[in-house]
Structure 1
Amino acid sequence: MAAERRVGDKTFKDTFTGKDATDWLVDYCTTIDTTEAIDVASRFVEYDLIEFIQQDKSHMEQHPGNNLFQPTKSAIYQLTAKGKDLVNGASSSGLTSVSEGVSASGSGITRDSNTQWLGKILNDAALRLLFREYLWDTGHEDYLSFYLDVDEFVRNCGQAIGAVQKNPSTVASMDGIKEVVAQAYRIYNALLVPGSPCTLNIDHQLRKNLATRMTKVVGQDAAMIDTLHEVTALFQEAQNAVFSLMASVRLHSLAFYVS
């Protein structure tokens, strides 16, 4: 990144070329090749994290249908206000680990900052992409996968149970319940069952309660629905625990991905 760069009759600070951005994504992130790097950088533009200050008109003419991001030396970019907020917010808020924040201040202020910042990340598609890259590099990507999987499960479960309550005698309604049950088992077997290669670090009693409930999911239709309510509550409890674990990650290091 250039501290200062003159473009036309103006001087801009902290700029980078499209080629610099794609090279950086390939070298320092989990992107496989330049094509994927361009797709990621295009998302940065789409979600208003970076913006161009000079376009490469030659590239635009050669690729008229794909100009959101131009991976060339002539295309010049800089962080947007939103992108700077991501960088400056993560560094100036003092986002260290939760345990460090509590021990340092004793007031829980850093914990609140971490959870608020994490909430902001989870609700923004572009920030989630950056966060997933960071968690992948730090060996914690399963946290985010589980969190998002539970979100999807809870939505599907609510819809399926609502369909049964509205039309209890239809086969299609119970098929929806069975699909949700299968989804619950996929999540449980992948990340929660004892002995899984990617078992999440959650409370022992919560894990035990989940194991007990998961053995009761399959059964009579009415009992299956009742047990799904219990499974949903336990999944959400595990999701809250995983949220806390993600909030304990050094979120200020995420700034590296856009700096």
Structure 2
Amino acid sequence: MASSSHGIVFNNKIRESPLVALQGIDLEEYFSKEFNVPVVLENEANLSAVFEQDFGTNQETRDLITISIHRGIGVGIIAGHNLYRGYRGMAGEIGRSLMTNDLDSGSRQLVKVESLCSEDAIIRQVMNAKNLTKLTSEDLVKLYREDDQVKQILNHAAQLIAEVSYNAIVSYGPEKIYFNSTLFEDLPVMYEMVRDRLVELGIFSPIQMIKGSRMTSLLGASSLAIHRALGLDDYLLHFRWPKEVKNIN
């Protein structure tokens, strides 16, 4: 079996788990004893990248990245057909990149990117601006279409996402770039703003959005579990593309 986690995962251990307190808990040992099967633990963004490689229609692509924007922001990196994790699994943690946040007081403060433009951060900003206690995806779409203040918040977030994505792209040099975000699926105009801004900045690698992103980590995890069960961790396997997922321009 395989499990997806937000945060840093290395050697089948959760090293950092900022959203759920899982570090220090040996999930591999627990699930192995409970179900008597091989267990693979991996970062959510990494699994999305595995999905794009192992289920992709063109496996000639050797280098690709998936940029996941959910509760945090992370990059999954395939380099030379291999998942690149970096030292102790720290590669791709772009949500921890520092960005200057200009405050209303005129002062400047260094903050983590994901505190400004992750899905959770955007929802929190809208709720604070509109004095809401809850916000559904349908509410957010409606507010974006009807409320200029909310539109400004989301448009600004899209610009920040484009900036941090640009830095990731020029750092890793991928042949293809995929955005993985339920927020982008609900509001395709946000993806279009990010994509168009990246083109303006000079990115020429193909950029696509994953539609059906809720499935990609699951399917990437399935691929790793199959590799592990068959003893084929170092082999490139190709799986049939699922009808629930599309890559769109």
Structure 2 length normalisation: TM-score? 0.29
- Which one has a bigger Cα radius of gyration? 1
Greater fraction strand: 2
Greater relative contact order: 1 or 2 (C-alpha under 8 angstroms, separation 6 or more)?
Answer: 2
